[in-house]
Structure 1
Amino acid sequence: MLNNSEPSFAAYSVADGIWYPAGTKQIDGAPADVIAMTHAHWKQFPPSNPAWNYLFGVIYFFLWIVNHIGNGLVIWIFLKTKSLRTPSNMLIVNLAIADFFMMLTQSPLYIISAFTSRWWIWGHFWCRFYGYTGGITGIAAIFTMVFIGYDRYNVIVKGMNGTKITKGMAFIMILWTWIYANAFCLPAMLEVWGNFSPEGLLSTCSFDYLNDNKFHGYFYTMYIFTGAYCVPMLLLMFFYSQIVKAVWAHEASSRAQAKKMNVESLRSNADANAESAEMRIAKVALTNVLLWVCIWTPYAFVAVTGAFGNRQILTPLVAQLPSLICKMASCLNPLVYAISHPKYRQVLQKELPWFCIHEPEDKKSDATSVGSATTTATA
């Protein structure tokens, strides 16, 4: 039995089985620079189970490996193979580069911090660096996906009337993605507008969406929420909805023509194709949009809630999970935008036969974007 001179203890997380002295907060014992950088909101919570940091550290490590293999192969294959060096595929390479460097600059800092301390261990400058590199690579990847969507829209919807993307135009698009990303992240890095600070479990850094200063907090959060989330989401939805609309219109026209000709289908091998062209393209479009929304909406929700909503629902774990989900995007993008490309798979099969990829050779030459694999089915 404890006597009155002994400290009392309280279980802040019975499920975790972790016991702390009554009144302990997750910021207690942190270095002075971490305390100074951390918003008061995070200082009110009891210590989180250290197992969460270990778990996230392990996940980050595996995401890092998967990211570098997937995006590294994309960069290597497209740059090595002359037939794949098209203007459209330049956008694919830029997406892979952005994703590659996202994990290269994020994972080592976080993994070491997660396994050696309960807090961010790298100081104020590297906190800003971590937030800045995560921001520019993420936003550059987002707008690269928008330009890829535009390219597919241009080819599928506009067809012969569309403006053919040249290498010069692709280069300008790529340059724009990085300039645009820096327009949001560089002011915070330089601390002239917005800032970066520890968030969630306090072992990572991100945009300081909890800043109570209206200029650095509310206005900056609305600026980045609008420009880096709302605008690209609306553009992606427009491009891919128009693609689906155009493809379905084409299929409806084909069915009407077949009906006039008293045949079941205009396709000579209709019975051999289990899935029609419009369904394949609709699935690709839907996958692209839903994947983007599912990955980036949680983080947008956390940022907007922190700036304008009920902050009490933003517990350390709730705030930490969206950043992990965003990192997963860098591993999925190669699969969605590159590895599904038949020409890429053919080259990969040739260069790395032990991958056991069995991609049949195309009878027709295809030197367009990733989306062209399905575009040709509607031609």
Structure 2
Amino acid sequence: MRQQLISNAAYHGAAVVLGVIGIVGFVFNACVIFIMIKDPQLRTPQNLILFNLAVSDFAVSLVGNPVTLAAAITKGWIFGQTICVMYGFFMGLFGISSITTLSVLAYDRYLMIRYPFSTRRLTNESAIYAIASIWVYAFIVTGPPLFGWSHYVNESADISCSVDWESGEYVSYVVFIFLFGFFIPVSIIFYSYINLFITVKRRASTNSFGQATKAEFRVAIMVVVMIIAFLISWTPYAVLALLIAFAGVQVSPIVSIILAIFAKSSICWNPIIYIGLNTQFRTAWKRFLKISNQMEGSKEGENFTRVSKMIVGKVDSVPSPNSTVEQYDTSPAITHWMAIDERENDSTGPYMFNLEMCNICKNKVLDITRPCDIGDVSL
């Protein structure tokens, strides 16, 4: 008869929490994946990286949570050693993929704000290469136990499997996975955001904090909230594993299972943050559900009322606010499109203008009746 490591009530409680995490993670991430596939306007390079994160979280809810839930219900691991190895590997793969994706997003946010008008932008093609590199990197970090460098074994009150932290037989791999799977991605994240906020502070002090930078900064805030949520979820578990591996700390199975479940909850937070802090996703849902937003439409009509065109070697006049301009063929030269944020000053009467470069196009026909995008941010 298999020995129970925790009480029946603890197993039942774990099953309930795992069930909630699995359902929320599955439904919310499925919604994010669906709307990103459904809405062409969300297919920006940065959103492709976000899509990869949603896929990784969705895979955990689809593959990992049902197995752990079944083990909690049956009060122990019932699937055998082969499934244990597969479970441990894929959960590690998806976890490393998630934190690596977050580090890529953080570094991209830093570059976007540090060099807002650089022509070397992240493109759909380079985003796909980045995603492929993320998965290759995650496999390099989590694959060695499949080939004999460490093992995947049962852990957390015998309801899940992970890397062998306790035996001390493969300390070198423990160092390897923490260095490349946690510390390096986290260091990239901190480097990116420290420099990002330094850049923002410098521009704010010189009054060069334009509309585009503000928009990108809002997206950067969304990414940093996602990173904080991930680190809050995973850091206690990571610290526990380090203490077990290097300090020989012994903890009760109930503490181990609580921290492991808390780490698994990270799959729920990202889609909530997408929808709560990303206006693109909210607008896409409204488009999909055919819900009109008259207030946003009115604001867009007021703010995006005039456009100036500046061609290298030639400056055209600014169209009248009442004129109808649908398209310009910019094939003869590089055209800088500048969105004019027009607001009336109640005290003085004249209009106040805030010019911000919107896009740099070459040999393209632009439709200026649609809002401009800076990176992945609609203005």
Contact 1:251/1:278 (<8 A) preserved:
no
- Structure 2 match to 1:186: 143
Matched, 1:101 2:101: no
Matched, 1:60 2:13: no
**Distance verdict in 2 for CA 1:101–1:150, change over 3 Å:** same
- Structure 2 match to 1:250: 203
**Distance verdict in 2 for CA 1:93–1:144, change over 3 Å:** same
TM-score calculated relative to the size of structure 1: 0.73
Matched, 1:87 2:45: yes
The one-character-per-residue Cα deviations of 1:170-200 (angstroms, maximum 9, x if unpaired) are 0111001111111122222x24111111112
- Structure 2 match to 1:324: 261
In structure 1, give the amino acid aligned to 2:70: I
Q: How many correspondences in the alignment?
A: 307
**Distance verdict in 2 for CA 1:282–1:153, change over 3 Å:** closer
- Structure 2 match to 1:300: 238
2-structure distance, mates of 1:284, 1:81: 20
Contact 2:5/2:158 (<8 A) preserved:
no
In structure 1, give the amino acid aligned to 2:96: I
Q: CA RMSD in A?
A: 2.8
Match of 2:192 among 236, 239, 245: 239
- Structure 1 match to 2:296: 360
The one-character-per-residue Cα deviations of 1:292-347 (angstroms, maximum 9, x if unpaired) are 331221121121111101322x2212222222122211111122345522121111
**Distance verdict in 2 for CA 1:336–1:161, change over 3 Å:** same
- Structure 1 match to 2:327: none
1-structure distance, mates of 2:216, 2:30: 32
Matched, 1:170 2:127: yes
1-structure distance, mates of 2:248, 2:293: 50
Contact 1:89/1:368 (<8 A) preserved:
no
In structure 2, give the amino acid aligned to 1:150: Y
2-structure distance, mates of 1:58, 1:158: 47
2-structure distance, mates of 1:123, 1:235: 38
Matched, 1:226 2:211: no
Gaps of 5+ in 1: 1-28, 32-45, 258-265, 268-275
2-structure distance, mates of 1:343, 1:66: 21
- Structure 2 match to 1:134: 91
Normalized per residue, which structure has more strand?
A: 2
- Structure 2 match to 1:16: none
1-structure distance, mates of 2:164, 2:294: 48
- Structure 2 match to 1:153: 110
- Structure 2 match to 1:206: 162
- Structure 1 match to 2:2: 30
Contact 1:131/1:207 (<8 A) preserved:
yes
1:132 positional shift: 1.0
Q: Secondary structure at the match of 1:161?
A: coil
Of residues 171-180 and 60-69 in structure 1, the stretch that sits farther from structure 2 once superposed is: 60-69
Share of identical aligned residues, percent? 26
1:289 positional shift: 4.2
Contact 1:244/1:278 (<8 A) preserved:
no
TM-score calculated relative to the size of structure 2: 0.73
- Structure 2 match to 1:261: none
In structure 2, give the amino acid aligned to 1:100: F
- Structure 2 match to 1:76: 34
1-structure distance, mates of 2:203, 2:36: 32
Matched, 1:345 2:317: no
1-structure distance, mates of 2:45, 2:248: 46
Contact 1:88/1:368 (<8 A) preserved:
no
1-structure distance, mates of 2:131, 2:233: 22
Contact 2:32/2:54 (<8 A) preserved:
yes
1-structure distance, mates of 2:258, 2:28: 23
